[in-house]
C-alpha cells in the first residue's frame, strides 16, 4: 500500500514539474489592436491594411478592432470587410459606442462582436454623402447583398434535438438585410417598419453581439479568455496618413481636374508657364501614391503619356480633330482608370466590381470638373487676378478689323505676332489681326500667309 501511495505521489510531483516547466516557457498571447475612431474612408482602410500586415509580421494571435464610427464610404468599407474575412489572423471587434452604416458591415465581418453597454450597431442604408438623402434602390440592393453575404460567411450551427436536426445561422442574414432596408420585416424585431438598429442587449439576444464589455482589457481577458497577454497597438505613420489623403477619391478627382485643365490652358498660352507646372505637380501627386501602393504599373503610365502625345499631335501637326485626338483622350482616361486598379495588364479576374466603379467614378468626376473649370476660368482670363497673366492683351484701338464684305486679305503675307497654338495674332500691313493656324503650331516671328477667311476669322499657314 505504501508503495502505491509513493508511486502516486511521485507521479503527481512529476506532472506538476512538467506543468510548471511548460508554463514557464509559454509566451504570453499577442493581441494586436487597431483603433478606428473616425469616418470610414481611404485613411481608415489604409490603417486596417497596414495594421493587419504588422500583425502578421509579429505573428500576433488575434487582432482586436477597436471601433467607433458613424459610417463612411461603401467602397472602403467593402475593402475592409474583404481584408477581415480573408485575413490569416482572426479579427475581433470591440464596438466602443457606434458601429453605424459602413461600421456595421465591417463589424459583421469580424469573427466575434463585443459591445460596450449602451453601444449600437446597424442603420446601414446607403445615403448620398453631402445631402444625406437615400440613394436609389440599385445602391441599396448592392448593400443588402453585401450585408447578407457577410453574415452568411460565418456559417450555421447544427442543433440536434431528439430526432430533429435544426440548422441555425450564427448571424441571421435577414437581420443584416433589415439594417439596410426598412421593408424587411422580422417579427418581434423591427415591427416599426424602420431601418434596423440594435442596442448592445438586443444584438446579444439576436446573435449580433458575442459579449458585453467595458474595456479592451475586459474583452481580451473575460471574453477571449487570454489571461496572460501582451497588447500591441497600431500607430499610424505619417506615410499612412499622407497616403490616405492623396488616395482619397475626392482629392484624386481634383488632381485629374488640374491635370486636364492644366494641359488645356498650356496649349492656349505661349511658352511653358503656370498651367503646365500645375498639371505636372498634379500628375505627380496622382500617380506617385498609386505606384508606392503597388497599384500603378509602368504600362499604365506609358499609355497615359502616349495619350498626351497623341492629343498634342492632333493639335499641332494633324489638321482638324480625328482619330489621333480621340485615341489620345481614350488613352489618357484609360491610364488614369487602370492606375487605380490592382490588375495584371488587362486581367480583371481578381478585381472587385466596387473598385472598378470607384475608379470610373473618380476619373469621370475629375474630367467633368475639368470641363467646368475650363469654362469658368476661360471667362476669367484677361480680368484681374492670376489669370490676367496668361491672357494675350494689347491695345486694341489701333488693331485692324476684318472687312466681311471682301476677301482682299487672302494671299497676303505677314508675320506671326504671337505663337499660334491654333489661335493667336498676326501682323499684316503694319496692322494686328486675330488669326488661326490652318496647319500645326506656328512660332512667333514666323512668316505667314493668309489662306482663307471663314466665319469672320482669318486662317494662316507658315511659309517656312
Q: Identify the pLDDT of residue 402.
A: 44
Residue 409 has pLDDT above 70, yes or no: yes
Confidence category of residue 15, pLDDT binned at 50, 70, 90 = low
Q: Identify the pLDDT of residue 86.
A: 92
Give the pLDDT confidence of 336-366 residue by residue, as tens digits: 888 888 776 666 666 667 677 778 888 888 8
CA 304 to chain centre: 19
Confidence category of residue 61, pLDDT binned at 50, 70, 90 = very high
Q: Identify the pLDDT of residue 396.
A: 44
Residue 105 has pLDDT above 70, yes or no: yes
What residue segments make up the domains of the chain, in order of their start? 25-238, 247-390, 393-464
Percent of the chain beyond pLDDT 90? 31
Q: Identify the pLDDT of residue 165.
A: 76
Q: Return the CA Rg of the chain.
A: 33
CATH superfamily, with its number, for domain 393-464:
Nucleic acid-binding proteins (2.40.50.140)
> Once rounded to an integer, what is the mean pLDDT over residues 170-194?
87
Cell of 284: 505627380
Confidence category of residue 398, pLDDT binned at 50, 70, 90 = very low
Q: Identify the pLDDT of residue 319.
A: 57
Residue 394 has pLDDT above 70, yes or no: no
Q: Identify the pLDDT of residue 406.
A: 40
> Once rounded to an integer, what is the mean pLDDT over residues 20-36?
75
Cell of 442: 506656328
Residue 273 has pLDDT above 90, yes or no: no
Q: Identify the pLDDT of residue 405.
A: 41
- Of residues 140 and 379, the one with the higher pLDDT is 140
Instruction: Specify the fold of 25-238.
Output: 2-enoyl-CoA Hydratase; Chain A, domain 1 (3.90.226)
Q: Identify the pLDDT of residue 401.
A: 46
Q: Identify the pLDDT of residue 117.
A: 94
Q: Identify the pLDDT of residue 26.
A: 59
> Once rounded to an integer, what is the mean pLDDT over residues 280-289?
88
CA 135 to chain centre: 19
Residue 118 has pLDDT above 60, yes or no: yes
Count Cα atoms within 13 angstroms, Cβ side, for 305: 8
Q: Identify the pLDDT of residue 164.
A: 75
Rounded to 5°, the CA angle 20-25-26 comes to 95
What is the residue-averaged pLDDT of the chain?
81
- Of residues 317 and 250, the one with the higher pLDDT is 250
Give the pLDDT confidence of 208-243 residue by residue, as tens digits: 999 999 999 999 999 999 989 999 999 988 878 888
- Of residues 135 and 97, the one with the higher pLDDT is 97
Confidence category of residue 458, pLDDT binned at 50, 70, 90 = confident
Bridge partners (DSSP) of residue 416 are 426
pTM of the model: 0.67
Confidence category of residue 400, pLDDT binned at 50, 70, 90 = very low
Residue 377 has pLDDT above 90, yes or no: no
Q: Identify the pLDDT of residue 80.
A: 93
393-464: same fold as 25-238? no
Amino acid at each position: 500500500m505504501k508503495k502505491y501511495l509513493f508511486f502516486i505521489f511521485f507521479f503527481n510531483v512529476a506532472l506538476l514539474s512538467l506543468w510548471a516547466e511548460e508554463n514557464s516557457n509559454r509566451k504570453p498571447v499577442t493581441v494586436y489592436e487597431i483603433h478606428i475612431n473616425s469616418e470610414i474612408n481611404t485613411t481608415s482602410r489604409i490603417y486596417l491594411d497596414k495594421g493587419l500586415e504588422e500583425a502578421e509580421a509579429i505573428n500576433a494571435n488575434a487582432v482586436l478592432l477597436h471601433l467607433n464610427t458613424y459610417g463612411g464610404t461603401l467602397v472602403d468599407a467593402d475593402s475592409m470587410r474583404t481584408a477581415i474575412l480573408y485575413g490569416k489572423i482572426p479579427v475581433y471587434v470591440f464596438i466602443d459606442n457606434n458601429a453605424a452604416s459602413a461600421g456595421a458591415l465591417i463589424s459583421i465581418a469580424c469573427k466575434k462582436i463585443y459591445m460596450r453597454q449602451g453601444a449600437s450597431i446597424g442603420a446601414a442604408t446607403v445615403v448620398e454623402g453631402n445631402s444625406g438623402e437615400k440613394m436609389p434602390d440599385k445602391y441599396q440592393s448592392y448593400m443588402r447583398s453585401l450585408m447578407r453575404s457577410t453574415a452568411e460567411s460565418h456559417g450555421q450551427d447544427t442543433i440536434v434535438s431528439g430526432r430533429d436536426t435544426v440548422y441555425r445561422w450564427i448571424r441571421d442574414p435577414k437581420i443584416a438585410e433589415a439594417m439596410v432596408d426598412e421593408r424587411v420585416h422580422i417579427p418581434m424585431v423591427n415591427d416599426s417598419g424602420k431601418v434596423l438598429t440594435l442596442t448592445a442587449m438586443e444584438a446579444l439576444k439576436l446573435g449580433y453581439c458575442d459579449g458585453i464589455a467595458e474595456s479592451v482589457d475586459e474583452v481580451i481577458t473575460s471574453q477571449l479568455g487570454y489571461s496572460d497577454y501582451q497588447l500591441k497597438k497600431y500607430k499610424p505613420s505619417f506615410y499612412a496618413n499622407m497616403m490616405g489623403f492623396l488616395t482619397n477619391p475626392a482629392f484624386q478627382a481634383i488632381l485629374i481636374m488640374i491635370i486636364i485643365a492644366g494641359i488645356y490652358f498650356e496649349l492656349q498660352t505661349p511658352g511653358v508657364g503656370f498651367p503646365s507646372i500645375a498639371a505636372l505637380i498634379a500628375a505627380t501627386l496622382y500617380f506617385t501614391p498609386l505606384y508606392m501602393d503597388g497599384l500603378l504599373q509602368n504600362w499604365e503610365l506609358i499609355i497615359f503619356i502616349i495619350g498626351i502625345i497623341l492629343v498634342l499631335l492632333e493639335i499641332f501637326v494633324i489638321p482638324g480633330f480625328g482619330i489621333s485626338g480621340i485615341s489620345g483622350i481614350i488613352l489618357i482616361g484609360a491610364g488614369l482608370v487602370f492606375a487605380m486598379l490592382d490588375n495584371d495588364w488587362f486581367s480583371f479576374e481578381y478585381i472587385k466590381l466596387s473598385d472598378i466603379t470607384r475608379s470610373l467614378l473618380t476619373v469621370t468626376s475629375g474630367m467633368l470638373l475639368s470641363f467646368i473649370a475650363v469654362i469658368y476660368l476661360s471667362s476669367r482670363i484677361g480680368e484681374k487676378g492670376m489669370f490676367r497673366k496668361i491672357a494675350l492683351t494689347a491695345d486694341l484701338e489701333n488693331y485692324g478689323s476684318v472687312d466681311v464684305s471682301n476677301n482682299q486679305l487672302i494671299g497676303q503675307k505677314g508675320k506671326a505676332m504671337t505663337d499660334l497654338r491654333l489661335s493667336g495674332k498676326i501682323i499684316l500691313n503694319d496692322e494686328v489681326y486675330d488669326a488661326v493656324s490652318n496647319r500645326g503650331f506656328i512660332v512667333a516671328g514666323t512668316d505667314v500667309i493668309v489662306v482663307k477667311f471663314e466665319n469672320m476669322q482669318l486662317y494662316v499657314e507658315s511659309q517656312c
